[in-house]
Amino acid sequence: MTGGFTALDWSIVGGYVLLLALAGLLSTRRQRDAADYFLAGQRVPVWLVAVSVLSTTQSAATFLGAPDYSFRGDYTYLASYAGPLLAAWLISRWLIPRLYALRVTTVYELLRHRFDARAMRAAAGMYLIGRILASGARLYLAAIAVAMIGFGEVGPGSIFLASLALIVVGLAFTFLGGLESIVWTDLVQVLLYTGAALVVLVLLRLAIPADNGEIVAALAAPADGASKLRLLDWSLDPAAPFSVLATLTGITLLFFASMGLDQDTTQRLLACRDAREGSRALYWSVLSAIPVVLLFMAIGSLLYIFYERPDLMGRSAAAAGAFQGETITIFMHYILTELPAGLRGFVAVGILAAAAVNSGLISMASVLIEDFYRPWISRRRTLPDAHFVTAGRIGMIVLGAALLAMSVLCYHWQHYTDTPLLTFALAVMSFAYSGLLGVFFTALFTRRGSSASAMAALATGFVTIVAMQPYVVDSLGLPDGWKAMAFPFQLCLGTAVAFVTCAVAPGISRNESR
């Protein structure tokens, strides 16, 4: 399959790497202290923060997962973006002003003011665990595409080599410039992967001889009878991941955690000049994500026509049913077999842009250094700020190795669960988010809780999600209903358990400025 990847395609990929390097170098200057390195001196304009947040939240899971979801199903995932909008309002109203008032570098410092340093470090540790899980899953999805391009097959060995290549590229463009370098390379990456998707959409539409009315009719009434244009799922089925009920509960919780409690995103929001600009950037990032997701889901719908409706194509189309799970996605199959030379390379660049792991590395490094290493070393000796910049760079190398290991683990994990790409990438985030949500809700909305109960809540939230995973259910002989519950409802249950665990202890805030 990779025999069609020509020298022209490879030269375009090489040009992308050079373009990223140039963008990173132009935005890189001497980092005077950790605030410069991790928050870009809090001088990033609102529009650029919004683009960077969009790049952070729209990963290879969107590039590969969204077309796969609409090809197999419908548009309920698009409607679920009501959840992020609601979450953005809650974050802007309750969380961002508090973070700016406290002048923190990481969101977890809020717990130091509310409880103590032990609670802060426990939450930061849970974030690192969760981010390694989530970023490792996203890295795995991107490695599927890179493995198909470079090796023509997907297996543990090719996933390892593809993941290693992506990690090396991510480190190269993060190591010197810190967050300021990342937000500018994020802009380049968003332009590239949305541009690549637009090109594919246009070419795919031109390849289908049917008119728009025939395409809409075929999508509205497919052979199995379930409309592929359905936007709202009003069912109460606990196995439906993007129903209206799931959107207003678990999806909203997921994005509250993703955008407000995950340092990967809050680091960018804290790089604005003040809380008002941070809130504006958050709203714009969510609103701009909607047309991007629609673009990729439209590609999936046209792929359904291209492969599954030979009557509209006027020929016998290739069957797509053989391509499932981690083996390949239908989108990658189309890219590697149908696009002409040159365009294959351009779309491959879009995949690499969506697969960038540099933002996850810098956010994890900021938590590792600011919430763990700095407090520990500062009790022993006084060091210049430049030392912590160097420490952050070393931390990114260590974290990159952890993501590499997680990516290979995800190959076996998804093979066992046979979960669709999009759902797999989102579900992995629930492990750490359930405990974090329970603790932060206690800290923000009550005067209860203690450092000990916060740490217990982080553990119980994590264990609750683990107990509902298929391999655990099968191993322990638990009822099958446990593993049938969709991840938004798993997150609701895990958050409730964590909240009760944290709030059971009496206590008031003594340190936080209100």
Say if 107 falls within a structural domain: yes
Residue 26 tokens read as: 């132009």
Task: Write the DSSP string, 342-403.
Answer: THHHHHHHHHHHHT--HHHHHHHHHHIIIIIIHHHHHTT----HHHHHHHHHHHHHHHHHHH
- The values of phi and psi at residue 409, to 5°, are -60, -40
* Contact between residue 282 and residue 96 where contact means Cβ atoms under 8 Å apart: yes
Whether the per-residue pLDDT at 16 is higher than 50: the answer is: yes
Give the per-residue pLDDT at 346.
80
Q: Sorting pLDDT into bands at 50, 70 and 90, what band is 24? A: low
Say if 357 falls within a structural domain: yes
For residues 506 and 251, which has the higher predicted lDDT (pLDDT)? 251
pLDDT digits (tens, 9 = 90+) for 167-216: 887 776 655 544 555 666 677 777 777 888 898 999 999 999 999 999 99
Mean pLDDT of 219-229: 87
DSSP tally for the chain: helices H, then strands E: 29, 0
Residue 453, domain CATH: 1.20.1730.10
**Rounded CA gap, 324 and 260, in Å?**
33
Give, in degrees to the nearest 5, the angle at Cα 188 between 186 and 189.
Answer: 65
SS3 108: coil
**Rounded CA gap, 227 and 231, in Å?**
9
pLDDT digits (tens, 9 = 90+) for 491-509: 999 999 999 999 999 865 4
**Rounded CA gap, 187 and 459, in Å?**
37
* Contact between residue 107 and residue 375 where contact means Cβ atoms under 8 Å apart: no
SS3 59: coil
Say if 468 falls within a structural domain: yes
Q: How many CB atoms lie within 10 A of CB 484?
A: 14
For residues 241 and 263, which has the higher predicted lDDT (pLDDT)? 241
CA dihedral 290, 294, 295, 299 (to 10 degrees): 160
**Rounded CA gap, 408 and 143, in Å?**
9
Say if 509 falls within a structural domain: no
pLDDT digits (tens, 9 = 90+) for 435-494: 999 999 999 999 999 999 999 999 999 999 999 888 888 888 877 777 788 999 999 999
What angle, rounded to 10 degrees, do the helices at 178-207 and 275-308 form?
A: 30
Largest CA-CA distance found in the chain, in angstroms, rounded: 75
Say if 76 falls within a structural domain: yes
Mean pLDDT of 112-130: 89
What angle, rounded to 10 degrees, do the helices at 358-367 and 385-417 form?
A: 120
* Contact between residue 36 and residue 178 where contact means Cβ atoms under 8 Å apart: yes
pLDDT digits (tens, 9 = 90+) for 327-372: 356 788 888 888 888 888 887 777 776 666 666 677 777 778 877 8
What is the extent of the structural domain holding 200? 2-503
Whether the per-residue pLDDT at 33 is higher than 70: the answer is: no
**Rounded CA gap, 29 and 459, in Å?**
41
Q: Hey, which of 384-398, 420-434, 470-484 has the most confident mean pLDDT?
A: 420-434
Alpha helices in 45-116 (DSSP H): 46-57, 60, 66-72, 76-79, 82-90, 96-102, 109-114
Domain count, the chain: 1
Give the per-residue pLDDT at 181.
58
Q: Which residue bears the tokens 């590969």? A: 64
Say if 334 falls within a structural domain: yes
User: Which residues are CB-neighbours of 440 under 8 A, at least 6 positions away?
Assistant: 95, 110, 111, 123, 260, 261
Say if 449 falls within a structural domain: yes
Say if 120 falls within a structural domain: yes
| pTM beyond 0.85, yes or no | no
Which of 6, 78, 70, 67 minimizes the C-alpha distance to 333? 67
pLDDT digits (tens, 9 = 90+) for 272-331: 778 888 888 888 888 888 999 999 999 999 999 998 888 888 765 444 443 343 335 678
* Contact between residue 33 and residue 386 where contact means Cβ atoms under 8 Å apart: yes
